[in-house]
Amino acid sequence: MIKIVTTITSITCLLIADIGCNILTDKKQGCQEKSIINKTCPNSNLLIQNEIDSFSGSSLNKSKKKIEHKRINITKRLLFVDTQHLDYNITIERISTPNAPSCPPFCIEPIKIDKIKTVGELEVLSFIQEVTKNRDGLLIDVRKNSKYREETIPSAINLPYEMLTNSSPYQKEVLKTLGARKIKRGWLFKNPQRLLIFGASSFSPEASKAVKQLLKLGYPSNKILYYRGGILSWKAAGLTLI
């Protein structure tokens, strides 16, 4: 059923149309919704037209308008997705803003990385409880140190992604701290730490890059958790930041 609510001073008029009727197109035979509302709401034709104009200007009709804003890639290879909603052609795309990041590198990250388990806020909280109780594991913020110092999730340590790269002078010490031992052909992770890794958001690449780099170095996938939503999702959930 279609419901349109309009207000005339203090009177609220409710139009309930039969499922076979569509006030946005030509009337089908037997469709009487205008006559129904006319009996109860003065000036209803004007009000209904205003609602229709507002509805027609909504996202359902955006496909008929020339897109003036700059498109931002969704992923490196995906610019937009065309689909249909009711009788309208719709283009799903990323909205551009004056300070919008570009993609790449700020592309929407996939929910899954190899065999890594992706987690949400409740799993992060559970991990924090376990680490606090058993001292087993590290909650790692892989953003730059300046961002970490502005705000982060309580109990997180800062390990910027750049420190894990092969060109970093800190890589060796970092991996030893995580439980690795250097061998001729790379690294041996005999007693690795449990890690929960996060970055800025689901469209910021540092966390996924850190996870992928650790996997390349030989870190066991069952010892890594990936919080894809990062600081942005944590903040959106209203959870404490420090």
For 145-194, what is each residue's pLDDT tens digit?
Answer: 999 999 999 999 999 999 999 999 999 999 999 989 988 888 999 889 99
pLDDT at 18 over 60: no
Burial of 207 (C-beta count, 10 Å sphere; 0-12/13-18/19+): buried
Whether residue 88 contacts residue 200, with contact meaning beta carbons closer than 8 Å, is answered with: no
Q: What is the pLDDT of residues 35-55, one digit of tens each?
A: 433 444 444 444 444 544 454
pLDDT at 86 over 70: yes
Same domain, 88 and 165: no
User: The tokens of 202 are what?
Assistant: 């689901």
**pLDDT-derived band of residue 92, with 50, 70 and 90 as boundaries?**
confident
Q: What is the pLDDT of residues 191-229, one digit of tens each?
A: 899 999 999 999 889 999 999 999 999 999 999 999 999
Question: CA 142, CA 213: separation in Å to the nearest integer?
Answer: 12
Same domain, 224 and 129: yes
If residue 195 lies in a helix (H) or strand (E), which one and from where to where? strand 195-198
Same domain, 127 and 206: yes
Q: Is residue 17 situated within a structural domain?
A: yes
Same domain, 161 and 129: yes
Same domain, 155 and 195: yes
**pLDDT-derived band of residue 68, with 50, 70 and 90 as boundaries?**
low
Listed residues 38, 56, 74: the one ending a domain: 56
Same domain, 191 and 167: yes
Q: Is residue 207 situated within a structural domain?
A: yes
Q: What is the pLDDT of residues 98-154, one digit of tens each?
A: 666 788 888 888 898 999 999 999 999 999 999 999 988 999 999 999 999 999 999
Whether residue 227 contacts residue 207, with contact meaning beta carbons closer than 8 Å, is answered with: yes
Whether residue 192 contacts residue 220, with contact meaning beta carbons closer than 8 Å, is answered with: yes
Same domain, 95 and 166: no
**pLDDT-derived band of residue 10, with 50, 70 and 90 as boundaries?**
very low
Same domain, 31 and 79: no
Predicted pLDDT at 100? 66
Same domain, 227 and 138: yes
Question: CA 56, CA 84: separation in Å to the nearest integer?
Answer: 15
Distance, CA of 100 to chain centre? 15
Question: CA 234, CA 91: separation in Å to the nearest integer?
Answer: 29
Sign of CA dihedral 216, 177, 145, 111: positive
Predicted pLDDT at 79? 82
Q: Is residue 175 situated within a structural domain?
A: yes
Same domain, 65 and 145: no
What is the span of the domain harbouring residue 219?
Answer: 117-236
Same domain, 49 and 72: no
Mean pLDDT within 61-83: 70
Question: CA 216, CA 165: separation in Å to the nearest integer?
Answer: 10
Q: Is residue 45 situated within a structural domain?
A: yes
Same domain, 125 and 207: yes
Q: Is residue 192 situated within a structural domain?
A: yes
7-16 own/partner pairs: CB under 8 Å, 24+ apart: 8/41, 8/42, 8/43, 8/47, 11/41, 13/37, 13/40, 13/41, 13/44, 13/47, 15/48
Alpha helix stretches (DSSP H) within 107-237:
121-134, 145-150, 171-177, 206-217, 230-236
Predicted pLDDT at 45? 47
User: The tokens of 238 are what?
Assistant: 């209203």
Q: Is residue 104 situated within a structural domain?
A: yes
Count of structural domains, the chain: 3
